[in-house]
Amino acid sequence: MRQPHEVEVAAPGQVSTTGQENRRSGGRARARDRLMDRATRPYPESEPIRQARGVENLMLFIDDDLRETALALGNVENYLVGVLGLLEAPRLGREEVHAVAADTQVLDHVDMLVETLETLRRRLAKLSASLR
């Protein structure tokens, strides 16, 4: 059984049936696309959130936190893909490996990821307290 926070991900080279169904229906399959879309497109809202009072602004902040967290996570992922590309390169030089190892920008992205996750969790706790 999937937990509420888990996202279905297809194995490399495979497409999940959920993703195919979403593409056929015009929905967005990638979690990052869906997170970014919430800023510009209407999205379904659960009945408990509709019934909660005074959470409109909180929901806007939660949406911002989701987008910022996704961006930070994407930056960390880009770093990891870059490392993988480096390790799989036909020629691997000491200087290239050292340059990637010495690059501390990924640590800034990890710090941002931790910050945005902490803020998101704090706001979710506020939302939880507002639900009946």
- 100-124: string of b/e by CB count within 10 Å (b at 16+)? eeeeeebeebeebbeebeebbeebe
pLDDT at 47: 73
Instruction: Say if residues 60 and 132 touch (Cβ distance below 8 Å).
Output: no
105 pLDDT higher than 80: yes
Categorize the per-residue pLDDT at 113 as very low, low, confident or very high, splitting at 50, 70 and 90: very high
Q: Of 43, 13, 39, which Cα lies nearest the Cα of 27? A: 43
80 pLDDT higher than 50: yes
* Structure confidence by residue, pLDDT tens digits, 83-102: 999 999 999 999 999 999 99
pLDDT at 86: 94
* Structure confidence by residue, pLDDT tens digits, 7-31: 444 444 444 444 444 444 455 557 7
